[in-house]
Amino acid sequence: MTELLKTFDGLDITKYANIVSQKLKINQDIYYYDNEHKSYYRGLQVLYQQEDNSDKQEIKTTDILVVESEWEGNKIQHAFAIANKQAQTGLKFCPHCNSKVFDPKDKNYSRDYEKQTIKCENNEGKIVKQVKLDYIQKPFVPHIMQNKTYQYLLANGRQHEFKPTQYFITYDLETVPKIVNKKFGKSSYQMYDLFLLSVASTIHNKQGIKKIFFSQQNGDDFIVQWSNQLLKEAEQVNEDNQYITEACTIDESIPYSMEVPIVGFNSSRFDISLIISQIQCKNWTISNYIGSSTIAKQVIVHHKKLNLKMKFVDMLTYLQPMELRQAAKDFGDGYDDQKGIFPIEAFNTDNVNEVLSKSEPFTMEDFNSSLKKTKISQQDYQIYLEDAKRFKNRWDYLQYYNEQDTYIMIKPLMTLISLQFKYKIDMFSFISMAACSNAIKYAKAYEDFDINGVYPNFEDNSQKFYLTANYWQSKVKGYLSQDKYKKRDTTNNVQDSDFDYFKQLFKVSNCSICGCKFTISNKPTLDRIDNSKGRSKDNVLPCCLYCNCFCSDKDENIGKLFIQLRKYCMIRCLPTILTDIDVYHLIRKWITGGLSNVMHRVNRSGIDFIKRLYYNKEAKKVTVLTTDHRITHVVGVDFNSLYPSVMSSEPHDFIKYTRSSGSANGKMYMCGSQTGKIMGDTDHSKQTILRIINSKKRFTEDGQLFIAKVKGHIDENYLNDFINFPSILRNFEFTTDQRTIGSYMYRHLKVNKIKTDQKQRKLTNLSSTMGEFMAFSSYYLWFLIDDCHYIIDDVKQIVIEAKLDKNKGQEQFFKIVMNSSYGSDGMNTEKYHKVKMMNRKQTERAIRSNAFMDEQKISEDSYMVQMNPEHCSCKTPLQVAFFVLDNAKYWYLNFIYNFMYKCLDMNHIHFIEGDTDSAYWAISGNPNEDFIQQFNAVIKDRDFYNDNAKYFFPTIKGDVYDEKKILGLSIERQVPSMIALALKNYIIFKNYCDDSKIKLKGVNQKTNKITKDQIVDCINEGKITKCTNMRLGQKNHQMSQYSIEKNGITGIHTKMIVLENQSCCPFMYGLTAKDYSVA
């Protein structure tokens, strides 16, 4: 051992622990000993990263102890495997999560350990977050609530002075690869490590445009030089963004504290990882980090000496995924030839200076990309040659290329800022396009709001508030605590003995600020008259909790603004945030995205036949029947902006609910705030819920919106009318055993060594709620009852929602074509983690926490620590997202059952596959025509079709508004044949030629040549095709290029029961896979 220590330099445990985990397929818990506190702690957790998520394996965890010693004056560490970590460390670990640690010597050890183990056992070893909601219903107005500047200006009648954050800095990094070529896993490789080569920025300020550039030629500390220069430029940009008085000084009365935007392109995944250690340094500290250890959505950096903050953001967060060249064309000058080209793989760390010092142009072969599997075109190469003539050497061309990437971001960003500002949205005050779109949506809802408008107090139908002794005692304690904290005199504060006095006062009084009466939904409190004194009897007035929250110790005008916003919100029935935890959990559990499913996998024109599912109610069996109707073509339909459409409150002839008086058209109203809740825990309450659901008022403008939790099924006598596309689209939890998914798919999984007998929860088509309670919005449940013969077996809960008013402002409510806006309403904060920057001591403490997830060392005494906190909040109107998603399902199904089934011969049609807003149908049409025949040959009721097709399909050729009409749809594609293996995995093709289009989620088709034969082999022989994705990734902020092998074409479809003839049948309550067969 002595000789080995003399010759062996040792290994970096942080780096090689990951390699060991991948090679040995183990997880590692690495423990250290803290000499100062004389205790052990888990300092590092290394998890084996499975390449293929479809085959989840049970991974063994090995415990490692790292101890430190000295050898010839040098500190070295030794790693030992621990046989019994509890005996070794003297700590007690929770047996369920294996993470939470307790010290048996602690005086509260028994209590804390018992409490933790009981909670952890109930939660199956997982952190189940406790959700904390606001205690009062607040209007959701993000463009006002989340922007203190606009809030102040609006409150003081100066909203015309509001301006966007229009000056910013862009940046871009270039890298040089270091060849690694290390194998990991079965056949994946780490090809390169990437190191910084250069950095450029373009500064957009009042004076105009300025470019800066630094590279390795400026020295090894060129990033530090860049950050120092960035500071100087950011000071000027910050000054230019400020509000200025007539005396040309900064207007200190206006609250403006926006960080200077530093904008990259695709920087959240790439650039930030390369420079994060440089921006967490001597002069700078990261004060806020939003994202994960691998994706930095937003990083705010604070200068330690100057009062200056910079915000690193990614331009792509404000766009749909696209290349920089396309963004420059779409949002800039309309040109796509301004972005340069550079052969980033033509050199490496061994020869970078030699290659870039040359004066001759790069060759065409130098531009070949192994990452993108692309080659430069002759035209692009000629453009490069012309550009290269202007530069002395390749270093100079690199500078041009690097700077140009930052320069062409300027105009697109200016365009985006301008587009958002039309709705009083300051783009950089929001984190993403979804957040901006959501703010615009609500800005449209409040566009008629006038702070000086006369808005009557809203009608509150909840029960009158009566003060109870417990409530009063709680308030008294709270008042005393608040006043002591603020160091006010509490000598004469209200006491428990004042209960009778204040009970009578609250009974006969209204809020002293807004005038609203006190109810269960609008509880009272006491507002101080003189804010410098405590809450004595002679220094308080009754007020509601809302007014106390927004008016106490606040600017008088700001208080008025929030009171007016609340009144406007309530009388217009606009959404408020949730305050009821039961309602929150009801909505959160049953909020489901769009359906993605496959029902018939093989559909070849002239070869295959239309198939129909048949349910025999006597035998309780499902049979797939093959008709005599041969497939002629496939038609795909696509709904126009489905989510914005169902949010629009646009009238439509095929909506029969919530119709205005005298109108033949109904509307899908969007829900507002919660106005009530009924629990179905008694026969009387169940009957009340059923009366609300089945009320005939649903066909009138008085129809009540709700979310109901019910158990039910489609009437067995009518099941065959719906079995070919079951109309209950809900999550269902099942086990991937042979009894459930059937022998065909089970065998396919087994043969290909994919793990079986696992629990899965997936969104699929069902004919019942599978014996459990499920939640539905009013429109969806009405449709199931009225059009699908849905029988409610039991009810558990109903949440009453206000319906948006029909005034002039609301006619435009949500009429914005933004598919991303609903996502912000439905944001699931329970799944979010927190990332904090900590020093070594803070990190060691965090590691002992049950909330600890991961840590990465940034610098000598700086760590990025990822935590999964046990608490979270919900600050968005979750009910709006629920209604959007459920109404979208209703509209999808409404088209199928109230249009297609009414006028098309469904014996000549079957559903192939569909996604959130699209559906592909196999048609047995006219064999004498080509495949461009839509539904023409299968129309059974020509009069109905001619009268009603116009409400869905475009009728005016060349009229883009008609083609994209709200609540309409279009023919997306017509093709001869289609094979759909699984969700988002299909090929459309012509039978006897190579003309095809393949969709394969998760596989880069540019680097993998996927063929029709591979898809056919998956069907016929059960073959799984391996694919290789080239990607960039980072670990411990070392960016690398990887070649990852994964399962590409798997043919795995477990959402339904796949039979031998490639038809897929829905799960049905009480049936097993043996009850399904092919005729």
- Residue pLDDT, tens place only, 87-114: 777 778 887 777 677 778 888 888 888 8
Q: Is the dihedral of CA 945, 947, 948, 949 positive or negative?
A: positive
> For 199-209, what is each residue's pLDDT tens digit?
999 999 999 99
Tell me how crowded residue 272 is: count the other CB atoms within 10 A of its CB.
24
Q: How many CA atoms lie within 13 A of 1029 on its CB side?
A: 14
Category of 789 on φ-ψ map: left (φ > 0), alpha (ψ -120 to 50) or beta: left
Output the pLDDT for position 61: 84
Residue closest to 571 by CA, chosen among 458, 673, 493, 403: 458
Six-digit token string for 690: 């059923």
CA distances from 691 to 684, 698, 772, 798 (A): 11, 11, 21, 11
Average pLDDT over residues 780-800: 93
More confident position, 819 or 893: 893
537 three-state secondary structure: helix
478 three-state secondary structure: helix
The interaxial angle of helices 394-407 and 378-388, nearest 10 deg, is 110
In the chain, where the domains are located: 2-90, 147-429, 469-573, 597-824+878-983+1053-1078, 834-868, 1002-1052
Is it the case that residue 804 has pLDDT exceeding 90? no
Q: Minimum mean pLDDT among 510-514, 1039-1043, 1074-1078: which range?
A: 1039-1043
Tell me how crowded residue 857 is: count the other CB atoms within 10 A of its CB.
16
Q: Give the single-character DSSP code of 897.
A: I
Res. 6 pLDDT band, cuts 50 70 90: low
Output the pLDDT for position 736: 96
Residue closest to 829 by CA, chosen among 1067, 591, 531: 591
Angstrom distance (rounded) from CA 190 to CA 197:
20
* Residue with token string 């702070």: 451
Six-digit token string for 1052: 């795995």
1074 phi/psi in degrees, rounded to 5: -70, -15
Res. 994 pLDDT band, cuts 50 70 90: low
CB under 8 Å to 480, separation ≥6 — which residues? 490, 493
Output the pLDDT for position 1009: 83
Angstrom distance (rounded) from CA 507 to CA 523:
11
Q: Minimum mean pLDDT among 26-35, 686-695, 1044-1053: which range?
A: 26-35
Q: Give the single-character DSSP code of 457.
A: P
Output the pLDDT for position 846: 82
Res. 451 pLDDT band, cuts 50 70 90: very high
> For 386-397, what is each residue's pLDDT tens digit?
989 999 999 999
User: What is the average pLDDT score of the chain?
Assistant: 88
Output the pLDDT for position 415: 92
The per-type count for the chain, helices as H runs and strands as E runs, is: 32, 42
**What percent of the chain stands above pLDDT 90?**
56
Average pLDDT over residues 691-700: 93
More confident position, 227 or 182: 227
> For 649-662, what is each residue's pLDDT tens digit?
889 999 999 988 77
* Residue with token string 């988002």: 984
Output the pLDDT for position 202: 97
Question: Which uninterrupted H or E stretch holds 796?
Answer: strand 790-803
Pairing of strands 852-859, 1064-1065: unpaired
How far from chain centre, in Å, is Cα 565? 28
Q: Minimum mean pLDDT among 5-14, 140-149, 792-801, 991-1000: which range?
A: 5-14
CA distances from 792 to 605, 788, 942 (A): 41, 12, 35
Is it the case that residue 805 has pLDDT exceeding 50? no
CB under 8 Å to 885, separation ≥6 — which residues? 591, 592, 593, 594, 822, 826
Q: Is the dihedral of CA 974, 979, 982, 987 positive or negative?
A: negative
Burial (Cβ within 10 Å: 0-12, 13-18, ≥19) of residue 951: middle
User: 400 with 356: CB under 8 angstroms?
Assistant: no
At the second CATH level, the architecture of 469-573 is: 2-Layer Sandwich (3.30)
Average pLDDT over residues 321-330: 87
Strands (E), 804-849: 834-838
Output the pLDDT for position 335: 57
Res. 750 pLDDT band, cuts 50 70 90: very high
In angstroms, how far is the first alpha carbon of the chain from the final one? 73
Q: Give the single-character DSSP code of 498.
A: G
Is it the case that residue 817 has pLDDT exceeding 50? no
Six-digit token string for 579: 């305050």
Is it the case that residue 32 has pLDDT exceeding 90? no
User: 1078 with 1059: CB under 8 angstroms?
Assistant: yes
Six-digit token string for 264: 């990259």
Residue closest to 1064 by CA, chosen among 633, 711, 611, 669: 611
Angstrom distance (rounded) from CA 809 to CA 64:
65
611 phi/psi in degrees, rounded to 5: -120, 150
> For 500-557, what is each residue's pLDDT tens digit?
999 999 999 999 999 899 998 899 999 999 988 999 999 999 999 999 888 766 688 9
Q: What is the pTM of this model?
A: 0.87
Strands (E), 453-539: 524-528
Six-digit token string for 1028: 């290789």
* Residue with token string 């919900």: 874
How far from chain centre, in Å, is Cα 648? 22
Identify residue 497 by its one-letter amino acid code. Answer: S
Total residues found in the chain within this entry: 1079
